[in-house]
Chains A and B, each alone.
Chain A
Amino acid sequence: EPEVTQTPSHQVTQMGQEVILRCVPISNHLYFYWYRQILGQKVEFLVSFYNNEISEKSEIFDDQFSVERPDGSNFTLKIRSTKLEDSAMYFCASSTGSNTEAFFGQGTRLTVV
């Protein structure tokens, strides 16, 4: 069964450092998303991406965040200067349409120290 894959599974970084979280969405999907989940809390929307551009973003997704689809398969989330409060599980997801089910990856646990 096709799945969304994310790397790394766990990233530890120092405050102020840049991190890039990587995702390979399901190959025939057109919509890509990043969500985050602070430990024990709900899943929060960050950004959606379609047709090589951001289609929606939340207030969490400020200038420190950026997304890219550098080639035909990868979808990345960059955090320019990490803060302690960026520590969370980051989930990538993809879907075939704007209104269809989202398939989530296993997540990257980001720990900022």
Chain B
Amino acid sequence: GQQVMQIPQYQHVQEGEDFTTYCNSSTTLSNIQWYKQRPGGHPVFLIQLVKSGEVKKQKRLTFQFGEAKKNSSLHITATQTTDVGTYFCAGRVNYGGATNKLIFGTGTLLAVQP
């Protein structure tokens, strides 16, 4: 079945350091979304990328969608303690018809030390 893997599984940084999580799909995606889940919380939508090679920024967060639409990355510049949580990518695959299920990646847990 389709798999979406993320690396690293866990990252511990000092506040102010940068952080990147990488997302790789076994199949081509029609679009990809990123979610953040705080400890004990629920996934909260961050952004959606649709076009091949697309780059979007939200303040200190930069999201990229690969040219082949099989990988994506999230980069956080100058992490803050409020960035703590698990970051999930979630992709949609077109099987020749409409699909609306999100395949979530394995997630990257970010810990930020003040």
Contact = CB atoms under 8 A, between A and B. Distances in A.
Contacts of A45: 101-104
Given A42-B105, A42-B107, A103 B45 contact: yes
Interface size class of A (residues with CB under 8 A): 20 to 34
B27 interface: no
Interface of A: 31, 33, 35, 42-45, 48, 50, 55-56, 58-59, 91, 95, 98-107
Interface of B: 1, 30-31, 33, 35, 37, 41-45, 48, 88, 90, 92, 98-107
Contacts, number: 59
Given A42-B106, A42-B107, A91-B43, A48 B100 contact: yes
Nearest to A55: B100
Contacts of A91: 42-43
Contacts of B33: 101-102
